Amino acid sequence: MTDFGRSLVWFRRDLRASDHSALSAALEHSTRGVVGLFVVDAAFWQQHHEASIKVDFWLRNLAALKARLEALGIPLKVIDTAHAPTLPEAVVALARRLECDTLHFHREYEVNEVARDRAVRAFCLEAGLKVCAYHDRVILPPGALRTGSGTPYGVFTPYRRAWEKVVAHNLERVLPEPAAQTPLHIESDTLPDAVAGFTSHVPLGEAATRYPAGEEAAHAKLKRFMRTAAPAYVEGRNVPSREGTSGLSPYLAAGILSPRQCLEAACKASNGHPFATEGISTWVSELIWREFYTHLLCDYPRLSRGRPFKLATDAIDWRDSEVDFRAWCDGKTGFPIVDAAMRALKGTGFMHNRLRMIVAMFLTKDLLIDWRRGEHFFMTHLVDGDLSANNGGWQWSASTGTDAQPYFRVFNPTTQGETYDPDGSFIRKWLPELAHLDNKTLHDPHARGAKLSATVYPRPIVNHAEARLRAIATFKAIK
Ligand SMILES: Cc1cc2nc3c(=O)[nH]c(=O)nc-3n(C[C@H](O)[C@H](O)[C@H](O)COP(=O)(O)OP(=O)(O)OC[C@H]3O[C@@H](n4cnc5c(N)ncnc54)[C@H](O)[C@@H]3O)c2cc1C
């Protein structure tokens, strides 16, 4: 790599200093030091339906990053696009003012982000700046895995096998910790502690306790998971009332933690080989799903544009029922596991994976409402909202995606509740109006004779058996 003079490192959804490809390269090769940059772009965030709780999480992590960078002698500057002519002009103006000759960043793969980066890059090059872009969001860069005929993998299992083969033979190591640079005598900017237009539905104090900010907090969570829940992950991961999963998705989505660091922790916890023990290797599989959906997003840009992976499913005649959609959003469908999950999402900004599948399938099959409405609602409420994983999860549940659930396999929300919340503790927590019911009645209160008025808890808004047949017939009709 050629040497740079002074470098500007643009932090985006990679709000960490450790194992950060762009920062490490810039620190190693810049003869006149490194300056950090963060861009507050409320209009862009609004256009992408970013949840307020997630924006709050970014800002809290940005403050932690600023402290870490300053300890390394790296000042952090902020561009607020609300006060800038255009982003490319603002980046170039800042670089000139700080005497930076090179801009570094990690690539993003969504279509609008790609267009933004192209525009910034072109403007920088025209102004005589160098631009270095790195792949760092996933362990294997997009395009790294191809089938024998050179096409992207469209099915997860062969993708996972190929991924494991490459990674097992060439385990990507985390980068050495960055060393402090000689201070530059450039002041950091004051960070915003809120951004207009993003008012969290979860009380901020509670969000800060639930999702503490900073790399240290993320690593403590990772360590605790490896010590306690990872060995029993296979059984524990499907029970929402247990802490059976890592809870790391907000940290991975915002890049507080890198996937390499997760893989390294998995290796350490299983004798140096991430696929050696069942619990850890199943958890690593989830990281591979994350990689799979990110790769798909690059290979199929239409996924960023709200189009289905299976184009034929564009012809599905989705129901347009605002009343049913609102009942789903508000946790008032009359199906306790669905309602408890939706109220948990609104109350915490998070939903357990099993519950995401249940509520997504309920919306798209039982209610036959367009998956894009659910995808949008999730994005505006999730602290870990991420286009590739969210889109992948929704299209899997709606049977419109790659390697999706077959359309004729429709979850029964009542039996899902009985299977994954057998003692009803999750439902009782979020639906206190049902807390007094016994375990059997709790999962289908009105049909099982609970003395309960429909004003206290609603009757089911659909008949599941009939709704299932309607969904199957609708999907069959487009075949
Ligand atoms: C409808 C739907 C929407 C979803 N939306 C998102 C989203 O916006 N953001 C998001 O990060 N995940 C999403 N997921 C995937 C999954 O539900 C969450 O990643 C998981 O619940 C996070 O909890 P955890 O960190 O404890 O996961 P763990 O079980 O500990 O898994 C470890 C990590 O692997 C990744 N991961 C796990 N499962 C998946 C998966 N199915 N697809 C992709 N990555 C996965 C996450 O980064 C997660 O933190 C969605 C799933 C569905 C079905």
pLDDT at residue 200 is higher than 90: no
Residue 257 CA to residue 213 CA, distance in Å, equals: 11
Paired residues of 10 in beta bridges: 37, 105
Residue 334 CA to residue 322 CA, distance in Å, equals: 16
Residue 362 Cβ contacting ligand 1 at under 6 Å: no
Residue 247 Cβ contacting ligand 1 at under 6 Å: yes
CB atoms within 10 A of CB 202: 22
Residue 375 Cβ contacting ligand 1 at under 6 Å: no
- Centre of ligand 1 to C-alpha 249, Å, is 6
**Per CATH, is 7-134 categorized as 3.40.50.620?**
yes
For 118-147, what is each residue's pLDDT tens digit? 999 999 999 999 999 999 999 999 999 999
- Centre of ligand 1 to C-alpha 193, Å, is 27
For 429-467, what is each residue's pLDDT tens digit? 999 999 999 999 999 999 999 999 999 999 999 999 999
- Mean residue pLDDT of the chain comes to 95
Residue 389 Cβ contacting ligand 1 at under 6 Å: yes
Residue with tokens 């549940």: 397
pLDDT at residue 403 is higher than 80: no
- Centre of ligand 1 to C-alpha 159, Å, is 18
- Centre of ligand 1 to C-alpha 89, Å, is 36
Structure tokens at 361: 């399938």
Residue 397 Cβ contacting ligand 1 at under 6 Å: yes
- Centre of ligand 1 to C-alpha 282, Å, is 13
Would you kindly state where each structural domain of the chain is located, as residue ranges? 7-134, 137-172+214-299, 311-477
Q: What is the pLDDT of residue 407?
A: 85
Nearest atom within ligand 1 for CA of residue 357: 53
- Centre of ligand 1 to C-alpha 240, Å, is 13
Return the residue whose CA atom lies nearest to atom 49 of ligand 1: 249
Give Cα 198 to chain centroid, integer Å: 18
Return the residue whose CA atom lies nearest to atom 18 of ligand 1: 353
Return the residue whose CA atom lies nearest to atom 33 of ligand 1: 287
pLDDT above 70 coverage of the chain, percent? 99
pLDDT at residue 416 is higher than 90: yes
Residue 240 CA to residue 400 CA, distance in Å, equals: 26
Structure tokens at 71: 């300890």
Going by pLDDT thresholds of 50, 70 and 90, the confidence category of residue 43 is very high
Residue 257 Cβ contacting ligand 1 at under 6 Å: no
pLDDT above 90 coverage of the chain, percent? 91
Residue 286 Cβ contacting ligand 1 at under 6 Å: yes
| Cα dihedral sign, 383-387-388-392 | positive
Residue 319 CA to residue 31 CA, distance in Å, equals: 61
Q: Tell which CATH classification among 3.40.50.2300, 1.10.645.10, 3.30.420.40, 1.25.40.80 matches the domain 137-172+214-299.
A: 1.25.40.80
Q: What is the pLDDT of residue 1?
A: 62
For 79-89, what is each residue's pLDDT tens digit? 999 998 999 99
Is the pTM above the cut of 0.95? Answer: yes
Residue 251 CA to residue 220 CA, distance in Å, equals: 12
- List the catalytic residues: 286, 289, 318, 353, 371, 394
What are the phi and psi torsion angles at 426 (to 5°)? -70, -45
Residue 137 CA to residue 254 CA, distance in Å, equals: 10
pLDDT at residue 469 is higher than 90: yes
Residue 394 Cβ contacting ligand 1 at under 6 Å: yes
Nearest atom within ligand 1 for CA of residue 252: 47
* Class level of CATH domain 311-477: mainly alpha
Q: What is the pLDDT of residue 423?
A: 96
Tell me what the mean pLDDT of segment 343-363 comes to: 97
Residue 353 Cβ contacting ligand 1 at under 6 Å: yes
